[in-house]
Structure 1
Amino acid sequence: MNAAPILLAYTAAVGGLAPYLMLRSSWPYRAPVLALAVWHTLAVAFSLGVALTLSNLAMPTEHLHAGVMGVLHSCGLDVGVTHPDPGTAHRLAVALPASVGLTLLAGFAFHLVRAHRARTRQREALDLVGRHSPGLRATVVPYDVPAAYCLPGRRPRIVVSDAAVRRLTARQLDAVLEHEAAHIAGRHHLVLAAVEAFHSVFRRVPLARHAREQTALLLEMIADDRALRSHSHEALVTAMYEMAAARAPKGAFAAGGETVLIRLRRILGPRRTPHPALGLTVASTTTGVLLLPLLLMCPPGLT
């Protein structure tokens, strides 16, 4: 028996049911690093499920009428012989899953290049209108709204508006700068490019849509937690409130923006430390989810 139906059911569950369970859970915002790892593991598991399903469909089997080759033959398409050629089927079994991986890699490269070009244009504009502040280790730009963002990459840069410098206290400004430095140090632009690539390939899948949204939010929470290691909750919260209306240019990470309200509630709410068993439980479950399609490929009863 071919494993394709089981793999297809597994892939559908990862793509549709898993994101629903994640969104209904209360722990991800308490452990954003762990939650981010789970979302990306689910994306890998879904991609692997799609690739292995295609591989199984391409393999000639009696139960599925020679897989993809049998379907082509039954539709009247010339596949070269009366019965599907096993050699061609095996080549398809390699080429189809490989195309999934190559498409995802191409999407990742595309989003990296596009974001890099946007940041390059932004740096060129900053060189014209901004001034470097050695004390802040940031570029200050004339803008009448308090704002701060960073341009990650090989030539990272933190940008703050002169309104932010005037209106924020020294502690507030330091907290904001630490938040932006966390994005740069964590290479968050690579994480975002990966999930953008997954979304561009599987944009109609609920997992792709929710993983993209949650990744952006969780990266901001991770940067918030980094800033809270050395700054008070009050300093960061009040700074975020001041910059809630600010927007970042394309390819940048901003301390303000659309996620501010959720992040403010998280910081101001009860700070419950995740139970030590949570990490082990989540890690074990996601590892099992990731390995399951590989086990389904050759179970004893299906060979």
Structure 2
Amino acid sequence: MNAAPALFAYAAVVGTLAPGVMVRCRWPQRSPSLAIGVWFTLAVTFSLSLSLAALNLGDPDAHLHGLVYSCRAALGLGPSADGALARAGVAFSVVLVVAHLVGFTFHAVRAHAARSGHREVLDKVGRRSADLDATVVEHAVPAAYCLPGRQPRIVLSTGAVDLLSGAELGAVVEHERAHVLGRHHLVLSVSHALTWAFPGLPLARQVRGQVPLLLEMAADDRALRRFPRTTVATAMFTMASGEAPQGALAAGGQTVLVRLKRVLGPARAAHPVLRCCVGASAVVAPLLPVLLVCPAGLG
């Protein structure tokens, strides 16, 4: 029995139908960190399903050791139903992995270069504020952003310092600190890797659109643990017009309206049972392609 058709079908469901279901659900906004994990689980599941399907086309009798069988066939070291298909399957899997790595590296390196250049500018025009634990720059528009990485830096404009109260500034700094501590710049680079490999795939488009918003919501949640909702909401509203340079993560921007509605709405976290079910499903999803391959060795 060849598992390739079932694997291709599973990949099609994960890559085209599952994203629509996720976007229509309400629980991701209540548990943004869990939702980010689910989006990446879907991406891994999709790529794994495609790779296993390609390998099984070349070796229909492969089971859990399909990778070894197909590679041996591609190198001419073992029997195979079709040597050319085996080589094509291995080549496809290698290209898929390389595409993900190139996409991640390209975005990470480009963002790092932009942040490095901006740090040099900040060293010249910014002033360090020990009280705020941030760098302050002269700019009338209220803005706040962070430059993550090995030398993280939180940046505030004088407009933000003048307009916000002490508690509101604290909430903004806490939001940016969440981006730094959570290594959110690396999470964004991972999301771009899928888009690089499959630019027209619905799953890739939704990952690239949803993950940045969920990261901002996760940072908002960290601020909400230390400051009242009204304080966080007021700070977000004031910072709404602020933008960040390339490679940085900002408290303001185009997502503020959605996040404001969330912060000012009823404080409802996702039910523990729902979180457990979603977490279990996220664990099982990548295992299903492997389970689909198992019967291939028994047919």
Whole-angstrom distance in 2 between the partners of 1:244 and 1:257: 6
Whole-angstrom distance in 2 between the partners of 1:300 and 1:280: 31
Distance 1:302 1:211, change over 3 A: farther
Aligned equivalent of 2:270: 274
The secondary structure found in structure 2 opposite 1:28 is helix
- Please report how far the alpha carbon of residue 183 of structure 1 lies from its aligned counterpart in structure 2 after TM superposition: 0.3
- Please report how far the alpha carbon of residue 161 of structure 1 lies from its aligned counterpart in structure 2 after TM superposition: 0.2
Whole-angstrom distance in 2 between the partners of 1:23 and 1:89: 37
Aligned equivalent of 1:28: 28
**Match among 289, 292, 295 for residue 288 of structure 2:** 292
Whole-angstrom distance in 2 between the partners of 1:302 and 1:113: 46
Whole-angstrom distance in 1 between the partners of 2:60 and 2:143: 59
Superposed CA offset, 1:252-294 (max 9, x none)? 1100001000000001001112211112101121222211111
Q: Do 1:60 and 1:89's aligned partners in 2 also have CA atoms closer than 8 Å?
A: no
Superposed CA offset, 1:180-206 (max 9, x none)? 000000000111100011111111000
Whole-angstrom distance in 2 between the partners of 1:58 and 1:96: 11
The secondary structure found in structure 2 opposite 1:150 is strand
**Match among 134, 140, 146 for residue 136 of structure 2:** 140
Q: Do 1:2 and 1:302's aligned partners in 2 also have CA atoms closer than 8 Å?
A: no
- Please report how far the alpha carbon of residue 85 of structure 1 lies from its aligned counterpart in structure 2 after TM superposition: 8.1
The secondary structure found in structure 1 opposite 2:156 is strand
Superposed, which structure 2 residues align to 1:154-169 within 5 Å? 154-169=150-165
Distance 1:12 1:141, change over 3 A: same
The secondary structure found in structure 2 opposite 1:132 is strand
Matched, 1:187 2:189: no
Matched, 1:119 2:123: no
Percent of pairs with identical residues: 54
Aligned equivalent of 1:73: none
Whole-angstrom distance in 2 between the partners of 1:60 and 1:181: 51
Write the letter of the residue equivalent to 2:201: V
Q: Do 1:14 and 1:45's aligned partners in 2 also have CA atoms closer than 8 Å?
A: yes
Matched, 1:5 2:5: yes
Matched, 1:172 2:168: yes
Whole-angstrom distance in 2 between the partners of 1:280 and 1:234: 30
Whole-angstrom distance in 1 between the partners of 2:283 and 2:295: 18
Q: Do 1:240 and 1:260's aligned partners in 2 also have CA atoms closer than 8 Å?
A: yes
Q: Do 1:132 and 1:139's aligned partners in 2 also have CA atoms closer than 8 Å?
A: yes
Whole-angstrom distance in 2 between the partners of 1:124 and 1:58: 53
Write the letter of the residue equivalent to 2:41: T
Aligned equivalent of 1:57: 57
Matched, 1:235 2:231: yes
Greater Cα shift, 277-286 or 111-120 = 277-286
Whole-angstrom distance in 2 between the partners of 1:97 and 1:201: 12
The secondary structure found in structure 1 opposite 2:243 is coil
Whole-angstrom distance in 1 between the partners of 2:155 and 2:33: 25
Superposed CA offset, 1:166-186 (max 9, x none)? 111001000000000000000
Distance 1:179 1:289, change over 3 A: same
Matched, 1:18 2:18: yes
The secondary structure found in structure 2 opposite 1:244 is coil
Aligned equivalent of 1:37: 37
**Match among 123, 141, 149 for residue 153 of structure 1:** 149
Whole-angstrom distance in 2 between the partners of 1:206 and 1:60: 29
Whole-angstrom distance in 2 between the partners of 1:27 and 1:201: 28
Write the letter of the residue equivalent to 1:207: L
Aligned equivalent of 2:67: none
Superposed CA offset, 1:97-149 (max 9, x none)? 12211221121111111110010011111112111111111111111100000
Aligned equivalent of 1:106: 102
Instruction: List alignment gaps of at least 5 residues for structure 1.
Output: 62-83
Superposed CA offset, 1:63-90 (max 9, x none)? xxxxxxxxxxxxxxxxxxxxx9845543
Whole-angstrom distance in 2 between the partners of 1:137 and 1:118: 22
Q: Do 1:59 and 1:93's aligned partners in 2 also have CA atoms closer than 8 Å?
A: no
Across the aligned residues of Structure 1 and Structure 2, the Cα RMSD in angstroms comes to: 1.8
Aligned equivalent of 1:207: 203
Greater Cα shift, 173-182 or 122-131 = 122-131
Aligned equivalent of 1:256: 252
Matched, 1:218 2:214: yes
Greater Cα shift, 182-191 or 277-286 = 277-286
The secondary structure found in structure 2 opposite 1:29 is helix
Across the two proteins, how many residue pairs are aligned to each other?
A: 282
Whole-angstrom distance in 1 between the partners of 2:182 and 2:275: 20
